[in-house]
Amino acid sequence: MKAKIITRSAVAVAVAVALSAGYVAGNHNVATPQVITPAQAAMMPAEAAAKTGIPDFSGLVETYGPAVVNISAKHVVKTAARRGMNGGANGGNPQLPIDPSDPFYQFFKHFYGNGVPGMGGDGNGNGPNAADTPSESLGSGFIVSSDGYILTNAHVVDGANVVTVKTTDKREYRAKVVGADKQSDVAVLKIDAKSLPVVKIGDPNGSKVGQWVVAIGSPYGFDNTVTSGIISAKSRSLPNENYTPFIQTDVPVNPGNSGGPLFNLQGEVIGINSMIYSQTGGFQGLSFAIPINEAIKVKDALIKTGHVDRGRLGVTVQGMNQTLAKSFGMQSANGALVSSVEPGGPAAKAGLEPGDVILSVNGLAVADSNALPAQVAGLPPGTTAKLQVWRDKGTKDLTVTVGALSDAKTASTGGADKSESASQDARLGVAVRPLTPEEKQSASLSRGLLVQQAGGAAESAGIQAGDVILAVNGQPVTTVQQLKTMVKAAGDSIALLIQRDDAQIFVPVDLG
């Protein structure tokens, strides 16, 4: 059945080509033939889109497709079985045919090796028996200099013993991994060649949500596959990916597309296709690309020094909302709210405090807490930066000497505490008591009030038993009476700084 579907699709393509050829043949006198240069050809899709509303990507593909390469990375791995992120034994790969008589069995085996899901492996060449077994992963990349420098994803070549690059004209090269940066997922390869076709680098900052974009890559090993879609969002922050403001698209991207270029309609690369969000292992409409300007910075650093230096402040931040903004006397919910400051870190030395809202770095506005890590990471360690923060219902300027990201330490808090009995605050809706000496030591705290019960406004805001209240509207809380006084004097909303497990967060509470 599946073989028939592919056949019918091939026929449909052939019919479409025939109709297209007939149309051209029947209208050959409409326009005078022109000589089109490669640069003009790359611009034609934008012109076609403007005239018809339907973009034509053919000129882009013909001009820059030859600069997109297939990457094969060979590894030696232990074949012990392991479970994937989704809890399945296949590591999130799609369920594939396991019957050797199925016509697709050999097809999938070609791409997955002996790790075809359902054959006792995990889809990555890893079988149930522990042994050294060679495996091969496929990815994409693109040539950025005519003398052989290539950009791809770090995860494509991670741990590879041999990396092979294949161009569209079937030439193959052994590639050297110049450097790989796991934080940004960017890697630089070098092949020994000259006069290679190259892509044109664009500016992702000039792109807009809703604009057409094109991906070229090798999904499941199908070389130079072209897919298209639109930009769905920009500056997207993903879990555990704090230093890359991703471009989100709905361009169909699948395993093997990783490391390939994302083009705009002018034929310029604006991103590197890096990952998808999927519950099946296949494309589900959410793909993410690394902005090319960020990748170029990493490339230059890797070529020059072999590593990437990133700045850090030594703070933990969280997002703002209107309730928090109102609690701090702010008109808008912009900026990154500091929930904890690392003792002795760069921010602490500069005078930054929990409850400060970082509004700008070196004059560049901080839109939200997702934007701040990338802005700070781009600052060279050892340099000074100007921070504008919101504190005590006004702005304050601070100067910080940027630290190095590798020096990161766990944040903690400090202060004083007085012991007293448990008490309940009716307006806030919590029953609290001071921490015992043992609890302070266990939580590495020297102050705070333990929440024993939560109801009313506090429960609605998400406060729960076991939380430790550290501050109200940025002011440290050391006694139960102090908490009562602060809540009584507050307006319609307050911001509580709490510690839950090992994290400190501000929680907005509506008292109205």
Average confidence score pLDDT of the chain: 78
pLDDT score at 62: 95
**What pLDDT, in 10s, does the model give residues 235-278?**
887 766 667 889 999 999 999 999 999 999 999 999 999 988 87
Q: Which residue has the higher pLDDT, 175 or 241?
A: 175
pLDDT at 97: 43
Give yes or no for residue 101 having a pLDDT over 80: no
Q: Is the pLDDT of residue 201 over 90?
A: yes
**pLDDT for residue 262:** 98
What pLDDT score was predicted for residue 39? 57
| pLDDT 10s digits, 475-491 | 888 888 888 888 888 87
The DSSP secondary-structure symbol of 160 reads -
Average of per-residue pLDDT across 28-56: 59
Q: Which residue has the higher pLDDT, 189 or 4?
A: 189
Q: How many CB atoms lie within 10 A of CB 271?
A: 29
In order of 30, 451, 486, the CA distances from 354 in angstroms are 70, 20, 17
Which pLDDT belongs to residue 132? Answer: 60
Residue 161 DSSP code: S
Residue 512's alpha-carbon distances to 193, 331, 428, 497, in angstroms, are 70, 19, 10, 19
Of the listed ranges 193-197, 312-316, 393-397, 452-456, the one predicted with least confidence: 452-456
In the prediction, which pLDDT does 154 show? 94
Sole residue written with tokens 């939200």: 368
- pLDDT of residue 113 exceeding 90: no
Report how far residue 302's alpha carbon sits from residue 179's, in angstroms, rounded to the nearest whole number.
5
d(CA 42, CA 264): 10
Is this structure's pTM higher than 0.95? no
More confident residue, 71 or 368: 71
Instruction: Please compute the mean of the pLDDT values over residues 382-387 and round it to a whole number.
Output: 94
What is the per-residue DSSP string for 379-436? SPTT-EEEEEEEETTEEEEEEEE-EEGGG---------------EEETTTTEEEEEPP
Of 2.40.10.120, 1.20.120.1750, 1.10.10.10, 3.40.250.10, the CATH number of 38-79+131-308 is 2.40.10.120
Kindly tell me if the per-residue pLDDT of 399 is higher than 90: yes
Angstrom distance (rounded) from CA 221 to CA 256:
6
Q: What is the pLDDT of residue 475?
A: 84
Kindly indicate the confidence band of residue 395, based on its pLDDT and cuts at 50, 70 and 90.
very high
Cβ partners under 8 Å of residue 67, min gap 6: 142, 143, 196, 197, 198, 199
pLDDT score, position 52? 64
pLDDT of residue 482: 86
**Rounded mean pLDDT, 397-424:** 54
* Gap between the Cα atoms of 276 and 93, Å rounded: 13
Question: For residue 230, is pLDDT > 80?
Answer: yes
**Catalytically annotated residues:** 155, 185, 258
Residues 311-407: name the CATH superfamily.
PDZ domain (2.30.42.10)
- Rounded Cα–Cα distance for residues 509 and 144 (Å): 52
CATH 2.30.42.10 is held by the domain 423-510: yes
- pLDDT, residue 6, reads 29
Least confident of 152-161, 192-201, 447-456: 447-456
Q: For residues 417 and 449, what is the distance between their CA atoms, to the nearest angstrom?
A: 9
Report, as an integer, the average pLDDT of 76-98. 41
Query: Using 50, 70 and 90 to split pLDDT, how confident is the model at 424?
Result: low
Q: Where in the chain is the domain with CATH 2.30.42.10?
A: 311-407, 423-510
Residue 461 above 90 pLDDT?
no
Indicate if the pLDDT at residue 82 is higher than 50. Answer: no
Q: Does the pLDDT of residue 106 top 50, yes or no?
A: no
Q: How far is CA 287 from the centre of its chain?
A: 10
Alpha-carbon dihedral of residues 123, 124, 129, 134, nearest 10 degrees? Answer: 140
3-class SS shares of the chain: helix, strand, coil, % to 5: 25, 35, 40
Which segments of the chain belong to CATH 2.40.10.120?
38-79+131-308
- The most confident of the ranges 303-312, 437-446, 475-484 is 303-312
Model confidence at 165: pLDDT above 80? yes
* Greater model confidence, 118 or 84: 118
The DSSP element (H or E) to which 276 belongs, if any, is strand 268-276
Which range of 16-25, 92-101, 195-204 scores highest in mean pLDDT? It is 195-204
pLDDT band at 128 (very low <50, low <70, confident <90, very high): very low
Q: Which of 167-171, 193-197, 300-304, 317-321 has the lowest mean pLDDT?
A: 317-321
Please report, rounded to a whole number, the percentage of residues in the chain having pLDDT higher than 90: 40
